[in-house]
């Protein structure tokens, strides 16, 4: 009989141990703090870093190109001014290295070029509007399409009388373009080329509206 009691006590102890090991019914599971995610996933951060590096590389390359171009233009300008003229390889025109340096009327500008003796030549003349337009440095311009039209804009960095070939301008030059009457005599407004806006413009040719004389010649004319 005693052994039965002992067995019963052992079974009760084992049952109590098992019950203690199990979680009580209805007990709440301890809450886990939510994981804080970064603002940008690792992949996006990597992409952003690559883009920033590409932007810096492009900015450095653009700066290097601008510096190289500035050095090249400075060297060309020194050569042109030392020589006294510049021959445009794209048009074949021979330009005086600088204008007359003084604002004059259209008639005086014509006379200045007609009387110019430079580099052994005496057939210098006032340039036409198209010839003056060929001196525009198009790298200073950007073209933007607005509707069906292309609008030329001047880069903010480059506003000024910036021309090709290292030709030096004191101001906007007169062109040889003039309206003519039925007798072939010029009359009315004189045309000049505005190198700030890179467009031709008109002005009265009298003494109150003076421009400059930039001379040109075409070999073989």
Q: Indicate if the pLDDT at residue 36 is higher than 70.
A: no
What pLDDT score does 165 carry?
93
Per-residue pLDDT, averaged over 61-78, amounts to 79
Query: Which domain does 187 fall in, by range?
Result: 85-217
Q: CA angle, corner 55, sides to 60 and 44, nearest 5?
A: 150
Give the rounded distance of the alpha carbon of 212 from its chain centre: 29
Within-domain flag for 113:
yes
Using left for φ > 0, alpha for ψ between -120 and 50, and beta otherwise, residue 92 falls in left
Q: Is the pLDDT of residue 155 over 60?
A: no
Domain contains 109: yes
Tens digit of each residue's pLDDT (9 = 90 or more) over 186-201: 776 678 888 888 787 7
- In the chain, the number of structural domains is 1
* Separation of alpha carbons 85 and 47, rounded Å: 53
Whole-angstrom distance, CA of residue 32 vs CA of residue 193: 78
CA distance 181 to 46: 72
For residue 46, give the DSSP letter: H
* Residue range 91-130, pLDDT digits in tens: 999 999 999 999 998 889 999 999 999 999 999 999 999 9
Distance CA 42, CA 219 (A): 67
Question: Given a cut of 60, is residue 63 above it in pLDDT?
Answer: yes
- The highest-confidence range among 65-69, 96-100, 136-140, 149-153, by mean pLDDT, is 96-100
204 is a domain residue = yes
Is residue 169, in this structure, part of any structural domain at all?
yes
Q: How confident is the prediction for the chain on average, in pLDDT?
A: 77
48 lies in a domain?
Answer: no
Kindly state whether residue 15 falls inside one of the protein's structural domains. Answer: no
């Amino acid at each position: 009989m005693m052994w039965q009691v002992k067995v019963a006590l052992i079974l009760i102890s084992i049952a109590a141990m098992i019950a203690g090991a199990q979680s009580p019914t209805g007990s709440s599971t301890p809450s886990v703090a939510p994981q804080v995610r970064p603002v940008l996933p690792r992949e996006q951060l990597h992409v952003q870093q690559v883009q920033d590096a590409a932007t810096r590389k492009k900015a450095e390359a653009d700066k290097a190109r601008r510096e190289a171009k500035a050095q090249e233009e400075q060297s060309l300008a020194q050569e042109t001014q030392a020589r006294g003229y510049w021959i445009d390889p794209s048009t074949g025109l021979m330009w005086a290295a600088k204008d007359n340096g003084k604002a004059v009327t259209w008639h005086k500008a014509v006379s200045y070029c007609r009387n110019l003796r430079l580099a052994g030549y005496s057939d210098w003349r006032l340039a036409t509007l198209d010839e003056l337009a060929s001196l525009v440095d198009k790298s200073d311009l950007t073209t933007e399409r607005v509707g069906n039209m292309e609008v030329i804009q001047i880069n903010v960095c480059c506003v000024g009388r910036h021309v090709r070939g290292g030709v030096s301008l004191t101001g906007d030059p007169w062109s040889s373009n003039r309206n003519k009457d039925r007798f072939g005599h010029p009359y009315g407004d004189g045309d000049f080329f505005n190198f700030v806006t890179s467009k031709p413009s008109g002005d009265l040719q009298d003494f109150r509206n003076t421009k400059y004389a930039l001379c040109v010649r075409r070999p073989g004319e």
